[in-house]
Amino acid sequence: MTGGSAYEVEPWRVRESRLDLDNLARSESMFALSNGHIGMRGNLDEGEPHGLPGTYLNSVYEQRPLPYAEAGYGYPESSQTVINVTNGKLIRLLVDDEPFDIRYGRLDTHERALDLRAGTLVRDADWTSPAGCPIRMSSTRLVSLTQRAVAAICYEVTPLDHQVRLVVQSELVANEAIPAAGGDPRVAAALKSPLTIEEHAAHDGIAVMVHRTQRSDLLVAAAMDHVVDAPGHIDVDVTSSPEVSRFTVTTQLEKGQTLRLVKFLGYGWSATRSRPAVHDQVMAAVTGAKLTGWDGLLAEQRAYLDRFWDGADVEVDGDPEIQQAVRFALFHVLQGGARAEGRPIAAKGLTGPGYDGHTFWDTETFVLPALTYTVPRAAADALRWRQTTLPAARARAHQLGLEGAAFPWRTISGEECSGYWPAGTAAFHINADVADAVVHYLDATEDSVFEREVALELLVETARLWRSLGHRGPDGSFRIDGVTGPDEYSAIADNNVYTNLMAAQNLRFAAELAAHHPDAAADLGVTQNEVASWREAADTMTVPYDERLGIHSQSDRFTEHARWDFDRTAPEQYPLLLHVPYFDLYRKQVVKQADLVLAMHLCGDAFTAEQKARNFAYYEAITVRDSSLSACTQAVIAAELGHLELAYDYLGEAALMDFGDLEHNTGDGLHMASLAGVWIGLVAGLGGMRASPSLRFAPRLPHAISRLAFRVCYRGRHLRVVVTASSVTYELLDGAPITIFHHGVPLELDGTPQEQAIPPIEASPPPTQPPGRSPTRRTATPDLRSG
């Protein structure tokens, strides 16, 4: 079992061999299907029981007011919350008038499996009704990666003993009841009945419903059509009402005969188009899906994923849990961005309503690296979405008295949604995170059109923010005061190292791009004096360093704060943000998530090897990892410094974040950044990959992993890297020859595999973590080769 859960360890599937009613919400997240436009939680076909029902459309949200006990200038007036749109997953079954409900009768077998190669969720169950009638049901569900607006379900029922009368009800349901959110502030606020009917109609097995959100004023449409195959006579009826449309099939089957229902679904929404236009969109989607047919949709899905895995697969020998976890992670990261096409990738993707469905810096810093080197088009789409939100970001900067654009800490449509100003206002590093993702995308793709049409504007507006936010200090250095870095347990600090170093990169790259495109930059109002001021600010950026300790201080005077009393902190008090006042956290040396350590990953050239080793040891001792964003970064730097077993432990934590429900909130959606972090931990950590301005590798493996192989896409080429304990083989699979670096030594790849020895490394003594906060010691399970 994986992480002590009910999921079997298999290389290409996540399989649940029994139904655990206490685990429903978590399994619904694990088994969620998405394509970046449509998201469907892995709820049971019949809808009940459920942990948390959910069907989502990317960027469909409702507004809700943000109340303040004391108002303040610049506070956002409202927030945005993802809503559960029309549920098309529902297929109810009645067996001789007995509803198929796994809580009644006898559930003889029940299995669900997420197939990572087929892109489907398959369910099989043998059930005996309370009246003693045994049946077998199976369903296969997909959200199409090729037809953006389409989902489909194949549902089959077979009586196992004697003649049975069956009624199958396929439904579209709006405003279904949502369980109340718990006390955890990270859980989305449930909104009651957010959809108001605009249109509903049904005829000839087709039903369509169009609703409007009450406050955000978005049109949401869903349609369904069906194909029924049964050996005998069937009666069909279709009805429609404002909140339920129902397609009903009634038939009588003999023992061993099968009723097969294929349900085609179309989804769409718009903030600007008319009701007829949205109606026609979803009708066209189901018409196209029906023309393709169920088998055609399956074939398209498999072909799409075959291409994806050919360029993105990661192979791990020696730890089957990590092997399963990285493929599961890549699958969900792909699902989050594959067809988002100008929409964001939320912190929980489209797998649940956690964090209100908001997008954070998680996307640019953790998710986009995985996409940039595997599905670069999806990374470009996510960055194009950021560009579309520039008007809101400029307005926010103006409201704060700043120039350029201030991207929001958390958002759905581009407006700031955080009512907690130390994060929502002061976490300006999101600007540099966006810029960093832009630069890495450009380096990896050499996309000249994107550079001129998207990248230049994003880099210019983010650079303007830094130049106006910072100021020249008495010693002539450039300072950025009063900001919150990645570590949310340290707020409103002066000269956060991560923020300052990332801002300096942002300023330099903006200056470089403006010089490269002078005419386009001039159209944005960029002057030579402005570019010069960017370069000067970057070159004189303040980077705090504690000479007494010989380490970088996370921010000014951070190392002078009192240390947190870890010995007197009980295990049940973690995460600290739920048990301790922020005031107390802000004035102590305690780190929620990797902050300065993340700077050493993303701005590695700003530190010497000796500084990295001392910094890492110091911050390990005060980092409590109350965030899912931390473990993968700690894995990367631990591996770079030769702490390979510690890196392996952190990799395991990132890999099992959702499998093991380590933060007890997988039920409201998967952690997209931690999922991407599995790829980062393996490729950037154990594989030692760094990029921009050149592709570099410095691989090393822990004892448990005997072989690591991964593929990356870089500048139109596909490369394969195969690492063993003593050597690494680099192979250019396609494209023109390219020079890479192996442990600092240039190496030209021309299509012939090249094997290189891995030089030994002498690590410093292993660092220690706060009491009770060390990562779980990773012990690999026996390798499995099935599937």
Query: 72-101, pLDDT tens digit by residue?
Result: 888 898 899 999 999 999 999 999 999 999
DSSP states of 56-112 = EETT-EEEEE---SS--TT--SEEEEE----B---EEEEETTEE--TTSSEEEEEEE
- Average pLDDT score, the chain: 95
Spatial separation of the C-alpha atoms in residues 311 and 300, rounded to whole Å: 17
Reference 157, options 42, 298, 255, 236; nearest CA is: 255
- The H-or-E segment that residue 575 falls in is none
Q: Are strands 98-99 and 106-115 parallel, antiparallel or unpaired?
A: unpaired
Spatial separation of the C-alpha atoms in residues 540 and 562, rounded to whole Å: 30
State residue 780's pLDDT score.
61
- pLDDT > 90? residue 3: no
State residue 72's pLDDT score.
86
| Mean pLDDT within 749-768 | 94
Helix 456-469 to helix 497-516 angle, to the nearest 10 degrees? 130
Query: 490-528, pLDDT tens digit by residue?
Result: 999 999 999 999 999 999 999 999 999 999 999 999 999
Query: 381-397, pLDDT tens digit by residue?
Result: 999 999 999 999 999 99
| CA atoms lying within 13 Å on the CB side of residue 375 | 27
Going by pLDDT thresholds of 50, 70 and 90, the confidence category of residue 5 is: low
Spatial separation of the C-alpha atoms in residues 612 and 614, rounded to whole Å: 6
Cβ(430)–Cβ(409) below 8 Å: yes
Going by pLDDT thresholds of 50, 70 and 90, the confidence category of residue 65 is: confident
Spatial separation of the C-alpha atoms in residues 380 and 427, rounded to whole Å: 24
State residue 182's pLDDT score.
55
State residue 304's pLDDT score.
98
| Mean pLDDT within 107-132 | 97
Spatial separation of the C-alpha atoms in residues 352 and 332, rounded to whole Å: 13
State residue 178's pLDDT score.
86
State residue 781's pLDDT score.
57
Query: 562-606, pLDDT tens digit by residue?
Result: 999 999 999 999 999 999 999 999 999 999 999 999 999 999 999
State residue 183's pLDDT score.
52
- pLDDT > 60? residue 784: no
| Mean pLDDT within 164-177 | 96
Query: 245-269, pLDDT tens digit by residue?
Result: 999 999 999 999 999 999 999 999 9
Burial class (CB in 10 A: 0-12, 13-18, 19+), 536: middle
Reference 772, options 616, 646, 625; nearest CA is: 625
Per residue, the 3-state secondary structure of 606-628, as one string, reads HCCHHHHHHHHHHHHCCECCCCC
Reference 500, options 518, 473, 521; nearest CA is: 473
| Mean pLDDT within 267-286 | 98
Query: 420-474, pLDDT tens digit by residue?
Result: 888 788 999 999 999 999 999 999 999 999 999 999 999 999 999 999 999 999 9
Going by pLDDT thresholds of 50, 70 and 90, the confidence category of residue 636 is: very high
More confident residue, 686 or 763: 686
State residue 334's pLDDT score.
98
State residue 525's pLDDT score.
98
Spatial separation of the C-alpha atoms in residues 459 and 508, rounded to whole Å: 10
| Mean pLDDT within 267-294 | 98
For residue 552 the two structure tokens come to 């970088």
Spatial separation of the C-alpha atoms in residues 321 and 314, rounded to whole Å: 13
Query: 315-330, pLDDT tens digit by residue?
Result: 999 999 999 999 999 9
State residue 228's pLDDT score.
97
Region of 341 on the Ramachandran plot (φ > 0 left; ψ -120 to 50 alpha; else beta): left
Cβ(670)–Cβ(348) below 8 Å: yes
- pLDDT > 90? residue 1: no
How much is the CA Rg of the chain, to the nearest whole Å?
27
State residue 555's pLDDT score.
98
Residues 6 or more apart whose CB falls under 8 angstroms from that of 756 comprise 727, 728, 729, 730, 742, 743, 745, 747
For residue 566 the two structure tokens come to 């870890």
Query: 602-626, pLDDT tens digit by residue?
Result: 999 999 999 999 999 999 999 999 9
- pLDDT > 60? residue 700: yes
Q: Are strands 696-697 and 738-742 parallel, antiparallel or unpaired?
A: parallel
- The H-or-E segment that residue 221 falls in is strand 219-229
User: What is the set of active-site residues?
Assistant: 488
State residue 682's pLDDT score.
98
Going by pLDDT thresholds of 50, 70 and 90, the confidence category of residue 181 is: low
State residue 187's pLDDT score.
39
DSSP states of 308-336 = HHHHH-EEEES-HHHHHHHHHHHHHHHHH
Q: How many residues does the chain have?
A: 787
